[in-house]
């Protein structure tokens, strides 16, 4: 059987600016990245914060909230499911679904309303509410790297991609020796 050939599709590069990897040497660096991303937050954005327990998800959320002008505590929503913040520029809802035993608990808790509004939704442990939790514009994955962490940012929509444009540009690759 003759296979159709689509060389352009096969070699299509990933959308520019949709994917970034950033080393985070300590918790201050994690907060600082959150602060940089805060500048790109827009109403209605859904951001998944992924990574194991202790990966730095809540630390990243704290950095965003501080940069948006929240001066008080940033509590982990592990027990409350949601911590809402009314900030001067936007509303932000911080979720943590770690304690869900069944994804349907997301529906029972009536949380869908938050996702259909104008707030920014930051979600820790979104997989525990899948497939009910709405899909993300941006996925922030945090992984251990020795005592440090590495963030992988993956924009899934145009809105997510424009959030990443607020980050400093990547360092230029080293010049090739001639
Ligand atoms: N880049 C980093 N390097 C080392 N430790 C970090 C880093 N980012 C955060 N931490 C620390 O990791 C611990 C867990 O952070 P937390 O944000 O509560 O994790 P999670 O919400 O993912 O469970 C905290 O003590 C925090 O200070
Ligand atoms: Mg947490």
Please report, for the chain, the start and end positions of each structural domain, with discontinuous segments joined by +: 24-164
Architecture per CATH, 24-164: 3-Layer(aba) Sandwich (3.40)
Q: 15-27 pLDDT, tens per residue?
A: 767 999 999 999 9
Three-point CA angle 159, 160, 165, nearest 5°: 95
pLDDT of 12 > 60? The answer is no
**What is the pLDDT, as a whole number, of residue 10?**
47
Q: Residue 167 has which token pair? A: 């980050």
> Which of 59, 60, 124 for mutating ligand 1's site (highest number of atoms within 8 Å of CB)?
59
Q: Output phi, psi for 145, to 5 deg.
A: -140, 85
Tell the residue nearest (CA) to atom 17 of ligand 1. Answer: 56
> pTM above 0.85?
yes
Q: 109-118 pLDDT, tens per residue?
A: 999 999 998 9
Q: Output phi, psi for 106, to 5 deg.
A: -60, -45
Measured CA to CA, the distance from residue 72 to residue 104 in angstroms comes to 32
Whether 36 contacts 163, CB under 8 Å: no
Using the mean position of ligand 2's atoms as its centre, give its distance from the Cα of residue 53 in Å.
Answer: 7
Using the mean position of ligand 1's atoms as its centre, give its distance from the Cα of residue 91 in Å.
Answer: 24
Ligand 1 atom closest to Cα of residue 53: 23
């Amino acid at each position: 059987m003759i296979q159709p050939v689509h060389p352009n599709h096969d070699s299509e590069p990933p959308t520019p600016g949709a994917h970034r990897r950033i080393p985070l040497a300590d918790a201050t660096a994690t907060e600082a990245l959150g602060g940089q991303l805060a500048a790109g937050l827009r109403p209605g954005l859904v951001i998944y914060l992924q990574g194991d327990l202790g990966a730095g998800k809540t630390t990243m959320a704290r950095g965003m909230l501080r940069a948006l002008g929240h001066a008080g505590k940033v509590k982990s929503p592990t027990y409350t499911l949601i911590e809402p913040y009314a900030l001067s520029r936007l509303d932000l809802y911080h979720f943590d679904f770690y304690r869900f035993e069944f994804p349907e608990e997301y529906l029972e808790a009536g949380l869908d309303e938050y996702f259909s509004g104008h707030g920014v939704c930051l979600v820790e442990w979104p997989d525990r509410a899948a497939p009910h939790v709405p899909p993300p514009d941006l996925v922030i994955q945090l992984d251990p790297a020795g005592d440090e962490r590495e963030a992988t940012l993956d924009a899934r929509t145009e809105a997510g991609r424009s959030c990443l444009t607020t980050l400093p540009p990547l360092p230029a690759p080293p010049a090739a020796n001639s």
